[in-house]
């Protein structure tokens, strides 16, 4: 667990992530982080949760339509 201090950045608020946290998240300056609410609280992740659900839908369609996609690829 990391303790983050909220600081003022212009007219907004921000937090500074410790070096260890950025290494574990595999993020660098300029990367985008996503915060989404879970049953346990908030989760900070470099992965877009909406994109994950879209990819899951795409996988189901590709599996169901495997033969049609194979024919289209010719």
Cβ–Cβ contacts within 10 Å for residue 17, how many? 16
d(CA 35, CA 27): 14
Residue 72 pLDDT greater than 80, yes or no: yes
For residue 23, the model assigns a pLDDT of 93
Residue 62 pLDDT greater than 80, yes or no: yes
Q: What is the pLDDT of residues 14-51, one digit of tens each?
A: 999 999 999 998 999 999 999 888 899 988 888 887 77
The reported pTM is 0.58
More confidently predicted of 42 and 55: 42
Domain boundary assignment for the chain: 6-72
Name the pLDDT band for 52 (thresholds 50, 70, 90).
Answer: confident
Name beta bridge partners: 14: 7
């Amino acid at each position: 667990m990391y303790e983050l201090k909220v600081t003022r950045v212009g007219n907004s608020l921000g937090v500074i992530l410790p070096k260890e946290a950025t290494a574990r998240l595999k993020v660098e300056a300029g990367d985008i982080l996503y915060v989404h609410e879970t049953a346990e609280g908030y989760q900070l992740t470099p992965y877009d949760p909406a994109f994950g659900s879209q990819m899951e839908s795409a996988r189901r369609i590709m599996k169901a339509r495997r033969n049609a996609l194979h024919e289209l690829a010719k």
